[in-house]
Amino acid sequence: MSEYLVFYTEANLVCLIIFALMVAHDLLHADRQEKQVKYDRALLMFMLYFISDTFCAWIIAEALPKTRLSVVVVNFANYLLMAGITYTWLQYDMAVEQVPHRNRSINRFAVFFPFLVSTVALIAVYCIAPEVLLDKDLKVTPVYNVFLIAVPIINIIAAIIYSIRRARTEENPIEKQRHLYIGFFPLMVVAGGVFQIIVLPNTPIFCFSCALLMLILYIHSMEDRISIDALTKLNNRGQLIRYVSQRGNGYRKDRQTYVVMIDVNGFKKINDTYGHTEGDRALVLIANCLSEIVKRRSTSIFLSRYGGDEFVLIVPAESEDEIMSLIEEIRGLIEARCLEFKTPYMLSVGVGCARLEESPDSLQKCILRADEHLYLDKEHSRGSG
């Protein structure tokens, strides 16, 4: 038993260190997004659970004093932390899935309410009839286990529902898998715990499964930071460069490829008049319009923020008329959203377009030509104004 306790403690300690390194790495980034903050809270809950679980194992093995007080403290701590893990994970899931009004006080209280009721009930039961939760040998009863899993089950079901809803509307198969992974993550963690109990009771499978699953998700989040623009949530310029380098020339005889460059007209004036915060809102509005239009298309379009107030679309199309129709759709939707949101300005965009030709042409050269055409379009607009 002593060898097992040492191994169990070492496993929890290793997982604790791994999670601590992830949290420390995140804290070094001043521009953490909402979902990253909530992911780190889930990591902290896991870390606290590993500590509590280690003490619990030592008390059960009587390597530490096994008294009513010590048993009650560690089991109540495990209850709180198990609920805390699933609660913080649900908060993270809601941030990833962009659940509307998730940060309103009433909605946050609604998510917290089951935990509050369960905790009050658990304390009341222990005060009135402690034998219902602990037998004469100080072992937990099935009633305690019901309290232990009740709130986590509610949180897990809610997380799965939110992720399935988002996955059903996601057309990108990679993103669809990611949404489902996040939603079903708690079930995979539970599966690790059940496997430990049934198959390998003397091996800390639960601890290892938590660490492995969280590391996989953390790697995905690092990829997002590398490839996603923090403000608009579109592909960033680095991802555009990687996309272009992977595609090479990208020319195909069976279809035409166009590069469309988009620039916000009068963006400096918006910043100067209304401030940079409003300028950021304008960029997000443009980005959301572009994303919405891309999702409407049956063909795969690469969309990226090029830098500042410029955006790039790489579009497969049957003809130039299709591209002109796309551009008009973009302009029309931007105008409609400005009216809908009652922005203090009316946004418009300049557009440059270029078609990819056979070698020695390339996507990189095509982007430069589209940028030149964009400049000419803006000059023409100023001249017309």
Paired strand residues for 310: 263, 307
C-alpha separations of 359 from 118, 210, 246, 317 in Å: 68, 50, 16, 19
Taking CA 233 as the corner, what is the angle to CA 232 and CA 236, rounded to the nearest 5 degrees? 90
* Burial letters 364-383, b for 16+ CB under 10 A, else e: eebbebbbebbeebbeeeee
- Give the tokens for residue 175: 């993103």
Closest CA to 187 of 156, 150, 228: 156
Q: Assess contact for 302 and 314: CB atoms under 8 A.
A: yes
pLDDT at residue 382, rounded to an integer = 61
Question: Cβ of 78: how many Cβ atoms within 10 Å?
Answer: 18
Global model pTM greater than 0.85: no
Instruction: Tell me where in the chain the CATH 3.30.70.270 domain(s) lie.
Output: 237-384
pLDDT at residue 158, rounded to an integer = 92
Report the distance separating Cα 190 and Cα 188, nearest Å.
5
- DSSP state at residue 131: G
Chain-centroid distance of CA 158 in Å reads 16
Q: Assess contact for 231 and 315: CB atoms under 8 A.
A: no
Closest CA to 87 of 144, 9, 153: 153
Residue 360, preceding bond cis, omega within 30 degrees?
Answer: yes
Encode pLDDT of 24-34 as tens digits: 888 877 556 78
To which CATH superfamily is domain 237-384 assigned? Reverse transcriptase/Diguanylate cyclase domain (3.30.70.270)
Q: Assess contact for 74 and 60: CB atoms under 8 A.
A: no
Report the distance separating Cα 377 and Cα 374, nearest Å.
5
Closest CA to 35 of 19, 20, 43: 43
Instruction: Tell me where in the chain the CATH 1.20.1070 domain(s) lie.
Output: 2-227
pLDDT at residue 71, rounded to an integer = 93
The amino acid at residue 250 is G
- The parts of the chain modelled with pLDDT lower than 50 are none
Helix axes 105-128, 142-169, angle to 10 degrees: 160
pLDDT at residue 1, rounded to an integer = 55
pLDDT at residue 172, rounded to an integer = 57
**CATH of 2-227 among 1.25.40, 1.10.10, 1.20.1070, 1.25.10:** 1.20.1070
Within 8 A by CB and 6+ apart from 70, the residues are 59, 64
